[in-house]
Chain A
């Protein structure tokens, strides 16, 4: 109990820091700094209707590359951390039976979810959403599959091949930026196209597709690793 009160005092101290931050915050009326530039020139420079996507993929594309890397890294680490023994899977999974209804509805739902995911990342530069969200939706679809149709398996080889392919392509696009356009990860290796259409904003849709694929496969990988661990024993 003493310890908890000590912690409480600490948190109060911490709250003091937070409070000073909070008190120094005054709502601003206008955009300033770099955002102003994004708002004013984003349309011309990047050509994406969704300015968040423009920032994510282009202006701060390097961050996004890192972000993808983090997921990839996490998946890899979890992969070797859990070190699933793939050969055992067959016998174990066969035992389990899940409800028929769930299975059937999943069979319908899964393609729809995948489709939704694909939609989200293809339209990432126009509407809310993008590679990450799309990828997450696709992964959710697979989660559903794991739950509802436990006998279905996805090949890890395929997963990692897709993952590697999309990752590599992402890097290559980045490098193409140096060669063909102004710099690493420049989206103008493809033409900016008509503002607001699907095939616009240069390489953003392409990158988002790759990110979507990559994030989707990575998250699926993590979950399937966990799931297979589940089936162990």
Chain B
């Protein structure tokens, strides 16, 4: 192992040597600097490797011949190795990124960089308080120097503000340090830790000053205006250094010093941290300048870390794991984002669509955003998980809430940004110049954060158990993106089929049903993908990622695995949804609702883990404390996916704007993940009560109202796919209601309903998708008469709507019948009536769908339209066959499901005799009904055909039309606002109240954000006042006066 002091020696030596090189020698100075940075990276990585392979014990490095506390000593332990490695790598890669810029400025600029890194290394390693002060000064002066690499009024004024703030803060630090020395007689941190500094008022004030100064370095809200300005004003490469390297070191200093403070003070700081986290993210909402936005985000992340470290006494031994994993994500992501920002050089995040000029940058951008938000498989995912588990496991619900709120806000602006980059129109005037030395660091960090995620997972107790194979399979498609659709699609289908074949026997019964929906359904919808030509970039990795998530849900044994899969599914589906033409806002709201829901699930799982040693999913069976809360959190979380009323506004747009085969994927398959979640929740936790009110009872009303609202909205849509999307909302309302019944019949209804809905929604979405594919419009009133051009699609839709409407004899009725038996048994008639009513409304939109598109007058421009692509029809007819089969033999489907439910709800209230089902209340024989109806139908048809066989087919406009002859199909196709009288009568029920509610929340958040940001008026002196006020207020809070 190389003595870490050489890090200091080499960096200093090279910096001092640079003076020898005049202007001509600045290249040499540059290369030498890079070499030095490379060397120090090597040294710290070597130590890190030593610690990770557990061959190495922490090493003390003494300066001079004397032992501490008489002289200054450095410590190289595991954490130090991690932190110095991060800093040094950032120095090296960041230096590479800035190389040209630095070279332009001359060797002095390299000196600043080298000394910055040197200073940061020492502040991480040193165990001496005053030494810390000195090297913090070095680092901040170096930063102040680097800020003005690009000299303009912005960078200079921000640098000046930085210097002013830094001067004040370091004054506090020095004052505190000296008084600590006065009280303890030593400057050694370890020496201080051994004494109880909080007994005497004076020494606790000294501690207060030191810690507050360090906290101020971490830019707490609201004393952080200078920090934000620096992020915006400095060159992006420098901001990257500040955000990644400098903040990393500051965090470690904070970690190192916080044990000096009393526990109450630690909590106070944690509170400040969390306030910073939430407030900065709130302010991030209204930012449009990328660097400033990143600045707010950086500050918020550091605030979060501050909170975590402040709470370390609560969190316990996993604090370090959490801090490092979140920090690492932040480090890579923030550096990468700043770098990208530096490459494309725009002043507005709306212009980030220029990223699409470079695929690799776009991909990296996405990776960084995901890493930052804490989605799998990135390190922060595990960190946040562990954090929430620990906090909620120790009853710290307020903290959990605040953390989740803050994270949610961050996700909001980050994903808005990502959406801009992926979807907004390319601004023509900007074309980024991409230099090799700038793009390599970005790629390197993007790759590193993935690797880091994997290692973090491997270092987590449950992360180890995660099955990464499906994800790897999905990601492998990134590598073969250059192949044509045909090959990739075949591979994807083969992969899913093989996986299902190999594993389906290992699933339990109910899981197997859902596995079939997920995987076989996936295969069916993928079949439609053959209709696409070209490469279809970016489709397969994400589609398969979604399926990987769905598989993970089924296979999950532990809570972490479950949550991981849940998030993975969300990511995949997000990218599928955002592929749609106008889906930018819908994809965002989908993501936000998903993330919100996921956070609720995470909190729920966390609370469920109270007092549990192992975190397998079975803990849900034995929730002893806060069981109703756990139940509600999880249920609401799952219901964001099932789009229950109030949480549904993301769905219509997201599903409607998606591509022809994506709509069925997200609508028919993905929504069932929510049902699956609810199912396992109910299986595990059973019925819970708030006071005396049963939560499933509430859930039943949610389900009923969802169905009513969804179906009603569907009836008033003009957009065919939106209609189907709302219909999905309604249908999922039935499923939720069925589950909430908590009876054998109810669950049987819900599961059979899920299966049927999967099939018919896939069928309908594919059929309508095929129509939209040919017609290039989704507005139904622009269609019409297509039965003549697209008879196959028509037939699919016909069967689809009959099933959907639940009209006998098709299988839709089996769901309705079961549903009523269940309602009768449970005696929830009012909800039942509401559901019945929604069922009739379903009738309205079903008719509308088929009428407006396929019947009525064919438009002139559609006279030569072709039938939908073959490959879109193939899965439809497979589904049709299955649907008709089930219609004929309902018992064959329902009986096995009923048997599967017996272990959970043993009172099998339904008896089968062949295809005849009997309950206490009624009976029904699907097979005979089918035979009778087909019989009557054939006879009647035969009779009619016999009587009317010579009927002549007449032309389109040959209709009885009060003395005039219509010649424009538009005027004779009654389709727009079809249910006008209905809307007139009860349209007020579907006033967009819920959408308005969420919009108002959104506006409110922005308004508050606006208020907050007004604090930062850009005046350096005001910032200083903030700092002093911060100190005084914190003092008053913690000491309450003199």
Contact = CB atoms under 8 A, between A and B. Distances in A.
A231 B528 CA distance: 77
Interface residues of B, number: 73
Interface string B682-718: 0000000000000000000000000000000000000
A160 B19 contact: yes
Contacts of A14: 1028, 1031-1032
Contact of A65 (B12, B105, B179): B12
Interface string A52-93: 000000111111011101101110110111000000000000
Contact of A183 (B62, B108, B135, B208): B62
B69 A34 contact: yes
B134 interface: yes
Interface string A116-131: 0000000000000000
A210 to B, nearest CB: 11
A161 B141 contact: no
Given A13-B1036, A60-B72, A172-B13, A69 B65 contact: no
Interface in A10-54: 10-11, 13-14, 16-17, 19-21, 23-25, 32-38, 45
Contacts of A6: 1025
A181 interface: yes
A226 interface: no
B739 interface: no
Kindly name the residue among B64, B1032, B1035 whose own CB sees the greatest number of chain A CB atoms within 10 A.
B64
A24 B106 contact: no
Nearest to A172: B13
A157 interface: yes
Given A10-B1032, A25-B202, A168-B16, A73 B65 contact: no
Contact of A185 (B64, B144, B182, B186): B64
B242 to A, nearest CB: 15
Nearest to B184: A33
A39 to B, nearest CB: 12
Contacts of B507: none
Contacts of A45: 65-66
B70 interface: yes
Contacts of A79: 106, 108
Contact of B138 (A60, A73, A186): A73
A66 B184 CA distance: 24
Contacts of B64: 58-59, 61-62, 177, 182-187
A194 B480 CA distance: 77
A143 interface: no
Contact of B134 (A70, A157, A174): A70
Nearest to B72: A62
B20 A160 contact: yes
Contacts of A168: 13, 16-17
Interface string B384-421: 00000000000000000000000000000000000000
A16 B72 CA distance: 33
Interface string A182-203: 1111111000000000000000
B13 A157 contact: no
B278 interface: no
Contacts of A37: 70
B285 interface: no
Contacts of A167: 12, 15-16, 19
A74 B119 CA distance: 14
Contacts of A177: 63-64
Interface in B36-74: 61-66, 69-72
A82 to B, nearest CB: 10
A202 to B, nearest CB: 10
Contacts of A69: 12, 15, 115, 118-119, 138
Contact of A70 (B13, B16, B138, B203): B138
B141 A80 contact: no
B122 interface: yes
Kindly name the residue among A69, A70, A170, A186 whose own CB sees the greatest number of chain B CB atoms within 10 A.
A69
B536 to A, nearest CB: 51
B972 to A, nearest CB: 74
A177 B64 CA distance: 7
Kindly name the residue among B6, B65, B105, B181 whose own CB sees the greatest number of chain A CB atoms within 10 A.
B65
Contacts of A81: 145, 148, 151
B1029 interface: yes
B18 interface: yes
Given A70-B137, A171-B13, A186-B65, A19 B131 contact: no
Nearest to B148: A81
A33 B1042 CA distance: 28
A69 B9 CA distance: 12
A11 B137 CA distance: 25
Interface in B159-208: 175, 179, 181-182, 184-187, 200-203, 205-206, 208
Nearest to B105: A80
**Size class of the A contact interface (CB-based, 8 Å):** 35 or more
A61 to B, nearest CB: 6
B111 to A, nearest CB: 5
B1042 A35 contact: no
A188 B1025 CA distance: 48
Contacts of A161: 19-20
B3 interface: yes
A17 B130 contact: no
B112 interface: yes
Given A62-B63, A77-B144, A80-B106, A178 B179 contact: no
Interface in A145-188: 157, 160-161, 163-164, 167-168, 170-172, 174-175, 177-178, 181-188
A77 B112 contact: yes
A58 B206 CA distance: 27
A188 B203 CA distance: 36
Kindly name the residue among A33, A164, A174 whose own CB sees the greatest number of chain B CB atoms within 10 A.
A33
Contacts of B1041: 16
Contact of B179 (A13, A21, A32): A21
Contacts of B1032: 10, 13-14, 16-17
A21 B200 CA distance: 11
A7 interface: yes
A216 to B, nearest CB: 14
Nearest to A217: B19
B72 A178 contact: no
Given A61-B63, A80-B105, A186-B64, A66 B135 contact: yes
Nearest to B6: A175
Contact of B1042 (A11, A20, A60, A184): A20
A198 B764 CA distance: 97
Nearest to B178: A21
Contact of A164 (B17, B130, B148): B17
B111 A76 contact: yes
B15 A72 contact: yes
Contacts of B128: 60, 62-63
B762 interface: no
Kindly name the residue among A35, A183, A185 whose own CB sees the greatest number of chain B CB atoms within 10 A.
A183
Nearest to B146: A77
Contact of A19 (B61, B112, B1042): B1042
A182 B65 CA distance: 5
13 contacts: A11-B1028, A19-B1042, A21-B175, A33-B185, A34-B185, A34-B187, A73-B142, A76-B112, A81-B151, A174-B9, A177-B64, A185-B63, A186-B64
Query: Can you list the 3 inter-chain pairs with the closest CB atoms, starting with the nearest?
Result: A33-B185, A24-B202, A164-B19
Interface of A: 6-7, 10-11, 13-14, 16-17, 19-21, 23-25, 32-38, 45, 58-63, 65-67, 69-70, 72-74, 76-77, 79-81, 157, 160-161, 163-164, 167-168, 170-172, 174-175, 177-178, 181-188
Given A62-B71, A183-B71, 20 more contacts: A17-B1031, A23-B202, A60-B128, A61-B71, A62-B131, A63-B131, A65-B8, A73-B142, A73-B145, A76-B111, A77-B148, A160-B19, A163-B16, A167-B16, A168-B17, A174-B9, A178-B3, A183-B65, A184-B61, A186-B63
